[in-house]
Amino acid sequence: MSKYDAVFFDLDGTLVDTAPDLAYAINQVLTEYGKLEVPLERLRSVASDGSPGLIRLAFNITPDMNAYDAIQKRFIELYQTHITRESALFDGMQEVLVKLEEMDMKWGVITNKPEFLTTPLMAALSLDDRAVSIVSADTTPHSKPHPAPMLYACAQANVQPERCLYIGDAKRDIEAGNNTEMTTLIAAYGYIKDTDSPEDWQADGIIEHPRDILNWL
């Protein structure tokens, strides 16, 4: 018997490799503004930070600057249009999900991506009907690292947090999981920056590949 009743995933950089489509959208905006595109590998590390991180890297501006709102609006328009142009489950993740389902183990998503982007992405990848819970940035009044999204997901799945495994690729993911006594794993294959120190995030483990999740079950 597994000591877990459910497995929850962060979305971008953990369950799904969304970086190619996020990079495509921001590079389209750069092109429209007459600027040079940024290579995917440079953008990949900030993909988990959403539009603020991508716009900061690409345009060197922050949300308090005048041009930001127009750039963000156009970026989101383009991303919505191309949200599953290349996005796909990480290699090995389909195998993991199938195994969880074979074990009758519940799984879900807890993300800081807004609902209006999370829902179409999950639906397009045919994951929405498989997940027992999908919690977005605006599902609860607070987003990660606050414990509210984690507790909401557990309530939906009818499981206790201490009987859950949570996998994410950002410090806020691990903090959120730890704040609710979930077992936490760092997805080292995800969007981790060179300046990050995941070994200091106080996770229960670090995995190099999605299939490593099965070893924890």
**6-17+87-216 placed in CATH 3.40.50.1820:** no
Summarize pLDDT for 160-216 with one digit per residue, the tens.
Answer: 999 999 999 999 999 999 999 999 999 999 999 999 999 999 999 999 999 999 999
Write out the catalytic residue numbers: 10, 12
**The predicted structure's pLDDT at residue 217:** 87
104's tokens: 């009758």
Helices (H), the chain: 19-32, 40-44, 50-59, 68-81, 93-102, 115-124, 148-157, 171-179
Summarize pLDDT for 9-25 with one digit per residue, the tens.
Answer: 999 999 999 999 999 99
Summarize pLDDT for 32-90 with one digit per residue, the tens.
Answer: 999 999 999 999 999 989 999 999 999 999 999 999 999 999 999 999 999 999 999 99
In angstroms, the CA 155 to CA 62 distance is: 36
CA terminus-to-terminus distance, the chain: 9
Q: Give residue limits of the domains in the chain.
A: 6-17+87-216, 19-81
**pTM for this model (two decimals):** 0.95
Q: Is 183:165 a contact under the CB 8 Å cutoff?
A: yes
Length of the chain: 217
Taking the CA of residue 113 as centre, how many other CA atoms within 13 Å lie in the half-sphere pointing to its CB? 27
Is the C-alpha dihedral spanning 188, 189, 191, 193 positive or negative?
Answer: positive
